[in-house]
Chains A and B, each alone.
Chain A
C-alpha cells in the first residue's frame, strides 16, 4: 500500500507539473505586462547594488537582497 501511495503521489505531482507546462495559467500572449521593464525587481542592477551597499555598511542586517554575487568588500 505504501508503494502504491508513493507512486500515486508521484503521478499526481507529475500530472500537476505537466499540466503547468502544457497549459500555464498565464498564456504567452498575456505576458506583455510582465515583460515591461517597470515590472522588474532590479531595473538598474548597478544602482541596486550600490543601494544594498549603502545599507549593508550602516545596518546590522545583510543578505536576501535578491541579487547574485555577494561580498560587501568593506568594514
Chain B
C-alpha cells in the first residue's frame, strides 16, 4: 500500500534534482550582471521658493577596475539663505548656512550579483549625519529579473546655534527591497519597498507651534512655544514604476508611491514622464508629478492650549500638515562623442522644475489683521534648476 507513494516520491526526488541541476547549468550560461557605467558628473543646482534659496555644486565620479570592482565618490554643497515663513513669522531673523556632504562607495561584481557598500557624511553648523549603507542585487531568469535589497544606518547629531548646552541624537535604520522585471522587449516594471525607523530628537529645535492666549477668545491673540515631538518614527513606502519604449525612440514612464507612517501621515505620489529623442544628439524630457498627504495626528495650525508634558505632542511643521504639491519638469540634454585621451562621450543637460505647494491647514501669519485661525491659507511656488555636465570614459 505504501509502495506507490514511495515510488512517486523517488520520482519526485529525481525530477527535483534534474530540474535543479538544469536550472544551475542554464543559469551559469546566461548573461552576467554589469557594473554601473564609468562617468563623471559636475552639477550646479539651485532651489528658489518660499523665501528660501539653496544652491551649490555637486560632483559624482565613478571608476571601474578589472570589470569586477567599482568605486564612486561624491561631493555636494547646499548654500542656504532662508527667510521662510516659519522664520519671519516667529520673530527670528533670516539666516544663511552651508551644508557639505561627502560620500564614498564601492561595488563588487560576482557573476550575476553586485554587492555595494558606502559611507556618507553630511555636516552643517547645527546638524551632522553619518550614514553607512549596504546593497545587494542579483539577476535571475535570463537576466529579466533583478532582485535587490539594502540596509542603511545613520547616526545624526542635532545642535542649536546660540545654545551650546543643547545636543540631540537620532538613530536611523533603512531597510529596502526591490525587484525590477522585464515584461516585454519594450516594457520594464519596477517595485520598491522601504521601511525607515528613527529614534531620538526628531523635531527642529528652532520651530514653534502656536496656541491661543485665551481659548475662549481667539481675538485675544496667540503665543508661540517650542514644538514637542514623539521620539520615535516608523514609516513604510512602496512604489511601482513602469517604463515603456515607443517605436520612434521615445519612452513614457509612470509611477505611483504610497506612504504611511505611525505619526498619521499618509501620502500619495503620482508621476508621469515622456522622453523624446531629437536627431542623434538631443534628448528632451517633460514630466508631471503630483503629491498629497494627510496631516500628522499631533499637527495643528493653531492649538487651543499649550503642551502639558513631554507626551502631549505639538507640531506646526507645514511638512506634517495636510497639503499637496504639483511639479512640472522640462529637461534638455545634448550628448555627443568626444575624441579626447580618456573620454568617449560628453553631455550637457539643463533641467527646470516648477513646484506649486498648496497648504490646506497651514495659515499665512503675515496677515496680522485677521483673527487667529482665520488667516488666509499659505501657498507658494518654487523653481528648481539643474545644470549638469557629464563625461563618460
Asked if B158 and A4 make an inter-chain contact with CB atoms under 8 angstroms apart, the answer reads no
For B45, give the chain A residue with the smallest CB separation: A50
Number of interface residues of A (CB under 8 A): 53
Q: Report which of A20, A45, A73 forms a contact with B120, defined as CB distance below 8 A.
A: A73
**Complex interface: chain B residues within 8 A of A33 (CB):** 185-186, 245
Asked if A69 and B131 make an inter-chain contact with CB atoms under 8 angstroms apart, the answer reads yes
**Complex interface: chain A residues within 8 A of B193 (CB):** 64
**Complex interface: chain B residues within 8 A of A45 (CB):** 36, 41, 60
Interface residues on B, range: 35 or more
For B245, give the chain A residue with the smallest CB separation: A33
Asked if A58 and B319 make an inter-chain contact with CB atoms under 8 angstroms apart, the answer reads yes
B30 interface hit (Cβ, 8 Å): yes
Asked if B26 and A58 make an inter-chain contact with CB atoms under 8 angstroms apart, the answer reads no
Q: Report which of A7, A22, A34 forms a contact with B185, defined as CB distance below 8 A.
A: A34
For B143, give the chain A residue with the smallest CB separation: A24
Query: With A47-B388, A58-B357, A64-B176 in contact, is A39–B9 under 8 Å at CB?
Result: no
Tell me the residues in window 127-178 of chain B with beta carbons closer than 8 Å to chain A beta carbons: 127, 129, 131, 133, 135, 140-145, 150, 152, 154, 156, 158, 172, 174, 176, 178
Query: With A24-B142, A34-B185, A75-B158 in contact, is A68–B135 under 8 Å at CB?
Result: yes
Complex CA distance for A49 and B147, rounded to whole angstroms: 21
Asked if A61 and B265 make an inter-chain contact with CB atoms under 8 angstroms apart, the answer reads yes
Complex CA distance for A59 and B156, rounded to whole angstroms: 20
Asked if B388 and A69 make an inter-chain contact with CB atoms under 8 angstroms apart, the answer reads no
Asked if A39 and B237 make an inter-chain contact with CB atoms under 8 angstroms apart, the answer reads no
Query: With A21-B141, A25-B144, A41-B243 in contact, is A3–B296 under 8 Å at CB?
Result: no
For B129, give the chain A residue with the smallest CB separation: A73
10 A-B contact pairs sorted by A residue (CB < 8 Å):
A36-B249, A47-B386, A51-B384, A62-B196, A62-B259, A63-B236, A64-B239, A73-B131, A73-B154, A74-B124
